[in-house]
Structure 1
C-alpha cells in the first residue's frame, strides 16, 4: 500500500490563514457590509435619477441583505 503524504502548506498559505483568522475574529469583519452598502449607494446614485437619500436606503438594504445571507450561511 502506498502512503499519501499530507499536503505541504506554503508560508503564503499559512500567512493567508492567519490574516483571515485575525480578520474574522476582529470587529472589522462587519466593515465589509458597510463597504458593499456604500458601493451600491454610489452606483444607484450615479446611474439613476434617484436622490441620495433613496440611494443610501438602497445601499443599506444591500448591506443588510448581504449580512443576512452570510448569517444564514453560518459564516457569522
Structure 2
C-alpha cells in the first residue's frame, strides 16, 4: 500500500515500511514492522531498534489509521 503525505510517501507491506521524502536529497527511511510505534494524537510514526532511530509526523489521524490497518499493529495513545 502507498500512503501519500505532504512531505512524500509511505510504502507499507506486511513486513516493512519505507518512507520516501520528496526533494533533491532523495531521503529514504526504512524499518521492519517490529521496530515501529504509531502514536495517536501527534500522528507520529517512530522506528527504534537495530541501529535505527527516526520519527515522522503524518498529516492526519486518517493516514496513521491507514498505516496501522495495513501493517497490523495497534496505535499507541499516550
**TM-score, L = length of structure 1:** 0.21
Q: Between Structure 1 and Structure 2, which shows a larger proportion of helix residues?
A: 1
Comparing both structures, which one devotes a greater share of its residues to strand?
A: 2
Instruction: Using structure 2 for the length normalisation, give the TM-score.
Output: 0.21
